[in-house]
């Protein structure tokens, strides 16, 4: 009996030469099967290459692939802060309408529009990859504002210590500037945010930008020390820990914390006045007075600028203080926007948390260092808000008080939203590039497959001629 003679080509039947009579039939069967298999392979291959989404819909694995893509789209969803911001604005408006009292000035109302404009500008800069420009503006503004706190017209409750006495002596010779002298505590909060941004830039940038950012970080840290603001020191230390943890892991974060803690203790030991509990006692009395006042309107709050108009004088063991601001950001929001405003803040924090988690897994170096700086700045702002009202600027000219909303928190929020949009844009560009590469690979595979099928057909025809002969 003759040995089986396989016909070349994938997926083809094997012809068996059992007898001379059966050869023509076997050859005919083989050729028919070869043509059918070749045609089927060609159609399936061309359909798969030309319509990949259609094949995914029909294939069982398409369900898994599309579920994975849906999860990826959720992780790359655009940050939507409109709802929380509208709720915050609604709380401010509801408090003004529900509680009788004087309405805020045009400057205060205009500051709301200005803050939203700053948010849109910061988001646009970060979305276009120009986050460093916005960070540089904040850092420069913080450093420029330092002489105002030590100038010839400082605030009356300045804290002169061995750490900053020389700065006040030097500031006495500066020319008078027609600007309200800022509180050193407010400058300290701004410097803590600048320290976070500059430190992140110094860790992640390269070349001359790294050295420029490192110099700005040193200046911001030194200026933060001479403000003698304990809350500002804690905010700066927390910001450095967040930046270190984001960039180099837990060891660097613990190292930063281990350095910052003893440094603050040494600074407080050098200046005995900083160990006095007087400021904390006065703030405690202001907090109690604010809570007692808000207990009359716990749901609606009082409205913007109406806390000062109540004329409350807080009494403590270390003296009296007028209730102009509660020296707490959360109490200030409760007074200005009521429960609706606080709920809007909680909603906003939840949305921000999702964005922070999404950015924390980003490996793109530019987005990574920018996210580290913004996260540290947000932590610094939150820490300072425990003992300061850092959401409002309040100053006095003569007998008139002026208030305006601080655009700084909305600038940080805009940076956060813009970085997420930048991340989504880069992911979309990478997706399009990968799709182009896949299409190119499919075209190459299609040409290779067609050449292979043509070779199989030629071999089949040659085998057929040999068998007939």
Output the pLDDT for position 125. Answer: 94
Spatial distance between the Cα atoms of 48 and 42, rounded to a whole number of angstroms: 10
Output the pLDDT for position 31. Answer: 45
Q: Do 151 and 266 have their domain in common?
A: yes
The answer to whether 230 and 274 are in contact (CB under 8 A) is yes
The answer to whether 231 and 192 are in contact (CB under 8 A) is no
Q: Is 183 inside any structural domain?
A: yes
Domain total of the chain: 2
Q: Do 141 and 271 have their domain in common?
A: yes
Q: Is 173 inside any structural domain?
A: yes
Q: Is 362 inside any structural domain?
A: no
Spatial distance between the Cα atoms of 97 and 431, rounded to a whole number of angstroms: 50
Written as six digits, the tokens of 181 are: 């002298």
Q: Is 46 inside any structural domain?
A: yes
Q: Which domain holds residue 55?
A: 1-75
pTM over 0.85: no
Q: Do 69 and 146 have their domain in common?
A: no
The answer to whether 411 and 352 are in contact (CB under 8 A) is no
Phi then psi for 52, rounded to 5 degrees?
-65, -45
Output the pLDDT for position 157. Answer: 61
Q: Is 354 inside any structural domain?
A: no
Phi then psi for 270, rounded to 5 degrees?
-65, -35
Q: Is 429 inside any structural domain?
A: no
The CB density around residue 417, as the number of other CB atoms within 10 Å, is: 24
Find residue 393's DSSP bridge partners. Answer: 404
Q: Do 70 and 136 have their domain in common?
A: no
Which sign, positive or negative, has the C-alpha torsion 443, 449, 451, 454?
negative
Output the pLDDT for position 77. Answer: 60
The CB density around residue 110, as the number of other CB atoms within 10 Å, is: 13
Residuewise pLDDT in 10s, the chain (469 residues): 444 444 444 333 334 344 434 444 444 454 455 455 544 444 444 444 344 444 444 444 444 445 445 544 545 566 678 889 999 999 999 999 988 888 888 999 999 999 999 999 999 999 998 999 999 999 999 999 888 888 777 666 667 777 788 888 887 777 776 667 788 888 999 999 999 999 888 887 677 888 898 899 999 998 998 888 889 999 999 998 888 887 655 566 667 667 777 777 777 677 667 777 778 888 888 899 899 989 988 999 998 888 888 777 777 766 777 788 899 999 999 999 999 999 999 999 999 998 888 887 777 888 888 999 999 999 999 999 999 988 988 877 777 788 889 999 999 999 999 999 988 888 888 888 887 777 777 777 776 777 777 777 777 777 666 665 5
Tally of CA atoms within 13 A in the half-sphere of 101 that contains its CB = 24
Within 8 A by CB and 6+ apart from 71, the residues are none
Q: Do 141 and 56 have their domain in common?
A: no
Output the pLDDT for position 38. Answer: 47
Phi-psi label, residue 5: left if phi above 0, alpha if psi -120 to 50, beta otherwise: beta
Q: Do 182 and 69 have their domain in common?
A: no
Q: Which of 275, 290, 309 is the last residue of a domain?
A: 275
Q: Do 161 and 26 have their domain in common?
A: no
Find residue 396's DSSP bridge partners. Answer: 401
Q: Is 33 inside any structural domain?
A: yes
Output the pLDDT for position 467. Answer: 60
The answer to whether 309 and 394 are in contact (CB under 8 A) is no
Q: Do 134 and 265 have their domain in common?
A: yes
Q: Do 171 and 263 have their domain in common?
A: yes
Q: Is 48 inside any structural domain?
A: yes
Output the pLDDT for position 466. Answer: 66
Q: Which of 12, 41, 75 is the last residue of a domain?
A: 75
Spatial distance between the Cα atoms of 380 and 247, rounded to a whole number of angstroms: 17
Q: Which of 55, 75, 95 is the last residue of a domain?
A: 75
Helices and strands of the chain, counted as H and E runs:
16, 4
Find residue 316's DSSP bridge partners. Answer: 319
């Amino acid at each position: 009996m003759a040995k089986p003679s396989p016909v070349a080509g994938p997926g083809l039947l094997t012809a068996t030469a059992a007898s001379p009579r059966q050869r023509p039939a076997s050859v005919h069967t083989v050729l028919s099967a070869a043509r059918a298999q070749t045609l089927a392979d060609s159609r399936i291959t061309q359909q798969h290459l030309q319509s990949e989404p259609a094949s995914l819909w029909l294939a069982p694995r398409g369900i898994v692939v599309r579920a994975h893509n849906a999860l990826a789209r959720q992780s790359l969803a655009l940050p939507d802060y409109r709802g929380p911001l509208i709720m915050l604005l609604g709380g401010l408006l509801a408090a003004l309408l529900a509680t009788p009292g004087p309405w805020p000035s045009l400057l205060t109302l205009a500051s709301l529009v200005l803050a939203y404009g700053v948010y849109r500008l910061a988001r646009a800069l970060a979305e276009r990859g120009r986050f460093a420009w916005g960070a540089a503006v904040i850092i420069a503004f913080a450093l420029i504002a330092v002489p105002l706190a030590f100038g010839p017209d400082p605030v009356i409750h300045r804290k002169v210590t061995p750490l900053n006495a020389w700065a006040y002596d030097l500031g006495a010779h500066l020319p008078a500037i027609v600007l309200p002298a800022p509180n050193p505590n407010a400058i300290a909060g701004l410097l803590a945010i600048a320290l976070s941004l500059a430190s992140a830039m110094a860790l992640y940038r390269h070349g001359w930008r790294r050295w420029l950012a490192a110099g700005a970080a040193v200046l911001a840290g030194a200026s933060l020390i001479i403000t003698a603001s304990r809350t500002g020191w804690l905010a700066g230390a927390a910001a450095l820990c967040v930046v270190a943890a984001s960039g180099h892991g837990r060891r660097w974060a613990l190292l930063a914390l281990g350095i910052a803690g003893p440094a603050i203790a040494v600074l407080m030991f050098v200046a005995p006045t900083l160990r006095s509990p007087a400021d904390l006692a006065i703030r405690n009395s202001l907090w109690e007075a604010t809570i007692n006042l808000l207990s009359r309107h716990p749901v609606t709050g009082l409205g913007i600028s109406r806390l000062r108009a109540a004329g409350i004088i807080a009494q403590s063991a270390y003296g009296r203080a007028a209730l102009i601001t509660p020296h707490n950001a959360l109490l200030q929001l409760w007074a200005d926007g009521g429960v609706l405003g606080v709920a809007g803040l909680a909603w906003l924090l939840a949305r921000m948390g999702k964005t922070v988690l999404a950015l924390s897994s980003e490996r793109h170096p530019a987005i990574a260092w920018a996210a580290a700086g913004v996260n540290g700045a947000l932590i610094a702002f939150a820490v300072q808000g425990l003992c300061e009202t850092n959401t409002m600027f309040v100053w006095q000219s003569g007998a008139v008080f002026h208030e305006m909303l601080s655009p700084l928190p909305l600038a940080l929020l805009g940076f956060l939203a813009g970085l997420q949009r930048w991340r989504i844009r880069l992911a979309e560009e990478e997706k399009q590039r990968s799709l182009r590469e896949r299409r190119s690979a499919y075209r190459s595979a299609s040409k290779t497959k067609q050449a292979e099928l043509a070779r199989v057909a030629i071999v089949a025809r040659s085998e057929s001629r040999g068998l007939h002969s």
